[in-house]
A and B are shown apart, each in its own frame.
Chain A
Amino acid sequence: MPKFMIIPREQPKGLTASPAEMEKILQKYMAWTANLAKAGKLDHGNKLKDGQGRVVGVFGGEKGPKVTVTDGPHMESKEIMGGYWVLNAADYNEAQALVMDCPHLQFGTLEIRQVDEM
């Protein structure tokens, strides 16, 4: 069965919510993945390593373009990805239907990309 990568953008707000509120949100996510797993639709998920990462880019300097490496992405950034899921679905339509009730949609967007298995 084709696999679809689900890439979440933005994050639930954590800094102002109370522990109980954060737990409620977390439980919604966990219930959602549990349901997908039960239905055989969740291939796997991965969390990304905390507080680490590099951003590599080529930037123009005085003496011409140069490869620059910076630390990051930083945890403070709301754009940072905490992880991703890979779902089993027949096609984009099914993949889309599967994420329609994802609690993440309360906070940000989900990008769906089919894995090209050659």
Chain B
Amino acid sequence: MTGTHPLSPPQDVDRVVDGLFRRASGRLVSSLTRRLGAHHMDLAQECVQDALAQALHTWPYGGVPGEPEAWLYRVAVNRAIDALRRDNLGRAKLSDPTMIEELAHGQGHSPVVDDELAMMFMCCHPDIPPPHRVALTLKTVGGLSVDEIAAAFLIDPQTLAQRLVRAKRQIRDQQLVLDVPEPSQLPARLESLLDAIYLLFNEGYSAHSGDQLIKSDLCDEAIRLVRLLVADHRTNRPEVRALLALMLFHAAREASRTSIDGSLLLLAEQDRSLWNPELTAEAFRMFEQSMTGPKTPYHIEAAIASVHAASPSFPQTNWARIRELYDELLEFKPTPVIAMNRAIAVGHDAGPQAGLAALQVLARDPHLARYHLLPAAQAAFSVAIGAQTQAIAFYRLALELAPSAPDKRLLEAKLAAYREG
């Protein structure tokens, strides 16, 4: 494809909108992979990376093109055509010459949102294990590098690279197709996609250490992906709206989760005036619109978040309702962590003794043996009943198990404050 784009003067810096490269990279990789075929995913990624490098090497001198994304796509497509023609010359014909000609003549060009949706569905195919789904989605649609994803998940970049290789091999071997699934298959396929996005959001939201900037990128990316699903009539389903509501409720609280010195604050200590009213309002709207279908765990988790969002202060929280919701959630997902959260709700609802009793039962669960939030909760309820020695012992145990520096600082501050008080 030839033709020149008018170049804006070099001083036109505003054209480079924040995040253009990462966003464009996701869209372009999706579109190009769709044109080339899923087995050419690596080539598509290389070509898009080349196009970004080309922009980096030339835009400083000539300015940002009038349509930056179209410029990038054209460069990436040209790279792909060159590479495929080279391959076809060198060895036996690997690629369909018609496909190359179509690419060369610009047929079916210009990336569309549908390409991104299709890519998400393929990366999150139910046959691909969930952690691999997340990694692949972030690499392709999210435009994050292996190092960035590895830093966010606190895993070795090589381990992550291997996950990506395995996931891509699976796509090739099973000949997975890059398409938005047919209506009959959509609900099941959507479930595995939402699983992955939920995992992605949790990873970004959790208090483990890691690069904070990338962490909030993960949350933003998860929200952006669900918004794409809500915006498309095929995927705008009740459970999708519930997941978006759930994430928006949490995102609205983001600013209040850390104190000025960067240490973590518990829900009880957060300054609720810092909660983002627009995001909360949107979350409530979305939550209301999610009530049109069967109840899913996302609905219940969104409901729990909505109870917190609706209460003016921590003590005024409707704990009885939260306890009920956790009971319901346990039926869907009988996991130890949800059981622990339920026990904490019991403590706030029926009193610290009841909470301690419920937590005591769970402390015997081997899955929770190394989970620092369990002794942390036991410590807090022990403080409430005035059992000093017991409270200090629980705090010490929690400190020992705390996985990250922010978690440790939070517990140390609690312990110190308690001893002084």
Contacts and interface: CB of A to CB of B under 8 A. Distances in A.
Given A34-B11, A34-B13, A42-B10, A19 B61 contact: no
Interface string B33-63: 0000000000000000110111111111111
Interface of B: 7, 9-13, 16, 19-22, 24-25, 49-50, 52-64, 75, 78, 143-145, 147-148
A36 B12 CA distance: 12
Contacts of A26: 16, 21, 55-56, 59-60
A20 B23 CA distance: 9
Interface in A33-49: 33-34, 37-38, 42, 44-48
Interface of B is mostly: helix
Given A26-B60, A82-B61, A83-B61, A14 B19 contact: no
Interface of A: 11-12, 14-15, 17-23, 25-27, 29-34, 37-38, 42, 44-48, 50-51, 75, 80, 82-85, 104
A47 B13 contact: no
A25 B19 CA distance: 12
B49 A14 contact: yes
A30 B15 CA distance: 10
Nearest to A85: B61
B77 to A, nearest CB: 13
Nearest to A47: B62
B62 A20 contact: no
23 contacts: A12-B57, A14-B49, A14-B53, A14-B57, A15-B49, A18-B144, A20-B145, A22-B52, A23-B20, A25-B56, A26-B59, A27-B13, A29-B59, A34-B10, A37-B10, A42-B11, A47-B7, A48-B61, A80-B57, A82-B58, A82-B60, A83-B60, A83-B62
Given A12-B57, A37-B11, 13 more contacts: A11-B56, A18-B145, A20-B148, A23-B16, A23-B22, A26-B16, A26-B56, A37-B9, A45-B61, A45-B62, A47-B59, A75-B54, A80-B57
Given A11-B57, A14-B56, A45-B60, A19 B78 contact: no
A83 to B, nearest CB: 2
A20 B62 CA distance: 21
